[in-house]
């Protein structure tokens, strides 16, 4: 606490190099977050008149004991990902690329829920905030520096992904609908303002009508006793405001119009029961894909995804470039690993691709030539991971010192 209230500059160093925070007039306090654990922090406050006040303090130990196997280097300040050990639920872990835990948040405790899969849908909301789904009912807006989270509950089952678009939180939903006497889990969308009630909804049943039968979904076994028609697993918007849904079960991607009408169906495998789709995949490099996750739109004509099935080189980061009714593999970066479930791809400003091989709890960075420049495998210091996979890894550039 600054008494009296002051303005000036704070410079602090927790071993990762000096950082600076400018304090506006009448500041009484500030928050330092995401500090390296068990470290001596040197702090200097210089007021507007030029007088200095210095202090030193020790940070506490990390609350989650993880191991990191790091090879190479990555120029990203903070990585966010869900992880838990032994009987501990998955927590939101914030770590440096050199393998130091900078903080963690127990989102399930902040947002008590009876739902399973405590953290899903993790994504950056700007440069320093995160959006996540907690359980199957809560959309969380997380401030990792202050250690706070705001909850929005749309009143329906939400799963896999959440994104902010045009001031609303959009999330994938699921419900059981009956077709020809057979129940099916059908995905959908809900759009809700932060802390508000839904303003828009949509159902995949507006586009597809399931036929036949299938065994109940293992993923939804504790929620719905019905087969999963599409198993939508990611949601994004392109620059034109069109929603893009990844349909895992069909090796397909569906784009909607801003009015939520079906617009484009891209099918990655000729074996899909939705084949052939509206686009021909062609080119010298194999553009087919399967069991894909985390589809995003770099532009209206460029989509990135984590292609879980990949080709001989294992799962891969894949960019599809569209030209009318055809698409080619414009950029392919194989991970060299078998990654059968979940995963993510982020393209950094320098062209580096950051990928998550979820099943191996390993994050990989690849340069523009596809050469692996960094990797980090995450494990538990004691016990086994409480979640079989690491859903996503998200790069962050937070201001680690803030005024409340």
Q: Which of 127-131, 146-150, 241-245, 340-344 has the highest mean pLDDT?
A: 241-245
Q: Are strands 78-83 and 293-299 parallel, antiparallel or unpaired?
A: unpaired
User: Per the structure, how many domains does the chain have?
Assistant: 2
Do both 252 and 180 map to the same domain?
yes
The whole-number pLDDT of residue 120 equals 87
Do both 23 and 121 map to the same domain?
no
Do both 75 and 34 map to the same domain?
no
The whole-number pLDDT of residue 114 equals 56
Q: What is the mean pLDDT of residues 331-339?
A: 94
Q: Is residue 381 part of a domain?
A: yes
The whole-number pLDDT of residue 115 equals 64
The whole-number pLDDT of residue 399 equals 83
Do both 39 and 157 map to the same domain?
no
pLDDT at 234 over 60: yes
The whole-number pLDDT of residue 200 equals 97
Do both 187 and 307 map to the same domain?
yes
Q: Is residue 404 part of a domain?
A: no
Do both 82 and 229 map to the same domain?
yes
pLDDT at 166 over 90: yes
CATH of the domain at 102: 2.120.10.30
Q: Which of 108-112, 144-148, 223-227, 235-239 bottoms out in mean pLDDT, i.e. has the lowest?
A: 108-112
The whole-number pLDDT of residue 42 equals 87
The whole-number pLDDT of residue 316 equals 96
The whole-number pLDDT of residue 311 equals 67
Q: What is the mean pLDDT of residues 4-8?
A: 69
pLDDT-based confidence at 3, cuts 50/70/90? low
Q: Is residue 157 part of a domain?
A: yes
Taking the alpha carbons at both ends of the chain, their separation in whole angstroms is 12
Q: What is the mean pLDDT of residues 221-249?
A: 96
285, burial (CB in 10 Å: exposed 0-12, middle 13-18, buried 19+): exposed
Higher pLDDT, 91 or 116: 91
Do both 31 and 74 map to the same domain?
no
Do both 272 and 161 map to the same domain?
yes
192, burial (CB in 10 Å: exposed 0-12, middle 13-18, buried 19+): buried
Q: What is the mean pLDDT of residues 43-51?
A: 82
User: What 3 state SS string does the chain have?
Assistant: CCCCCEEEEEEEECCCCEEEEEEEEEECCCEECCCCCCCEEEEEEEECCCCEEEEEEECCCCCCCEEEEEEECCCCCEEEEEECECCCCCEEEEEECCCEEEEEECHHHHCCCCCCCCEEEEEECCCCCEEEEECCCEEEEEECCCCEEEEECCCCEEEEEEEEECCEEEEEEEEEEEECCEEEEEEEEEEECCCCCCCEEEEHHHCCCCCCCCCCCCCCCCCCCCCECCCEEEEEECCCCCEEEEEHHHCEEEEECCCCCEEEEEECCCCCCCCCECCEEECCCCCCCCCCEEEEEEECCEEEEEEEEEECCEEEEEEEEEECCEEEEEEEEECCCCCCCCCEEEECCCCCEEEEEHHHCEEEEECCCCCEEEEEEEEECCCCECCCCCCCCEEECCCCEECC
The whole-number pLDDT of residue 388 equals 60
pLDDT digits (tens, 9 = 90+) for 269-302: 999 999 999 999 998 889 999 999 999 999 999 9
pLDDT digits (tens, 9 = 90+) for 359-391: 899 999 999 999 999 999 999 988 778 766 789
Do both 329 and 380 map to the same domain?
yes
Do both 54 and 195 map to the same domain?
no
Higher pLDDT, 62 or 142: 142
Q: What is the mean pLDDT of residues 136-164?
A: 94
Q: What is the dihedral of CA 386, 117, 168, 145, to 10 degrees?
A: -20
Do both 75 and 45 map to the same domain?
no
Domain containing residue 36: 6-58
Arithmetic mean of pLDDT over the chain: 91
Whole-structure pTM value: 0.94
pLDDT digits (tens, 9 = 90+) for 190-233: 999 999 999 999 999 999 999 988 888 888 988 999 999 999 99
Q: What is the mean pLDDT of residues 32-51?
A: 86
Q: What is the mean pLDDT of residues 161-167?
A: 97
pLDDT at 393 over 90: yes
Higher pLDDT, 214 or 16: 214
Do both 154 and 220 map to the same domain?
yes
Q: Is residue 147 part of a domain?
A: yes
């Amino acid at each position: 606490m600054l008494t009296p209230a002051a303005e000036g500059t704070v410079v602090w160093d927790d071993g990762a190099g000096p950082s600076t925070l400018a304090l506006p007039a009448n500041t009484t306090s500030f928050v330092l977050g995401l500090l390296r654990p068990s470290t001596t922090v040197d702090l200097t406050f210089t007021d507007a008149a030029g007088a200095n006040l210095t202090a030193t303090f020790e940070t506490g130990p990390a609350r989650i004991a993880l191991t990191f196997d790091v090879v190479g280097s990555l120029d990203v300040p903070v990585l966010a990902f869900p992880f838990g050990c032994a009987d501990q639920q998955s927590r939101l872990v914030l770590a440096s690329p050199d393998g130091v835990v900078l903080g963690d948040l127990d989102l399930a405790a902040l947002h008590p829920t009876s739902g399973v899969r405590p953290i899903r849908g993790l994504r950056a909301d700007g440069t320093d905030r995160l959006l996540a789904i907690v359980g199957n009912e809560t959309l969380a807006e997380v401030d990792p520096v202050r250690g706070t989270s705001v909850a929005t509950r749309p009143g329906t089952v939400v799963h896999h992904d959440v994104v902010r678009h045009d001031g609303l939180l959009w999330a994938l939903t699921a419900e059981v609908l009956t077709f020809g006497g057979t129940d099916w889990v059908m995905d959908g969308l809900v759009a809700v303002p932060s802390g508000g009630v839904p303003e828009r909804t949509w159902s995949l049943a507006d586009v597809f009508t399931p036929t036949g039968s299938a065994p109940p979904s293992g993923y939804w076994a504790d929620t719905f006793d019905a087969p999963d028609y599409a198993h939508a697993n990611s949601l994004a918007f392109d620059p034109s405001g069109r929603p893009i849904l990844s349909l895992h079960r069909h090796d397909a991607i569906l784009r909607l119009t801003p009015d939520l009408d079906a617009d484009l169906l891209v099918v990655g495998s000729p074996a899909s029961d939705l084949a052939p789709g509206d686009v021909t995949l062609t080119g010298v490099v194999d553009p087919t894909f399967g069991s894909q996750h985390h589809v995003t739109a770099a532009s209206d004509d460029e989509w990135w995804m984590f292609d879980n099935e990949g080709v001989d080189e294992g799962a891969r980061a894949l960019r599809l470039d569209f030209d009318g009714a055809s698409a080619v593999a414009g950029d392919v970066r194989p991970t060299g690993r078998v990654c059968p479930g979940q995963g993510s791809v982020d393209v950094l400003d320098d062209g580096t691709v950051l990928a998550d091989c979820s099943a191996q709890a390993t994050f990989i960075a690849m340069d523009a030539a596809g050469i692996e420049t960094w990797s980090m495998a995450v494990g538990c210091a004691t016990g086994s991971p409480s979640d079989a996979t690491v859903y996503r890894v998200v790069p962050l550039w937070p201001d680690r010192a803030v005024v409340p």
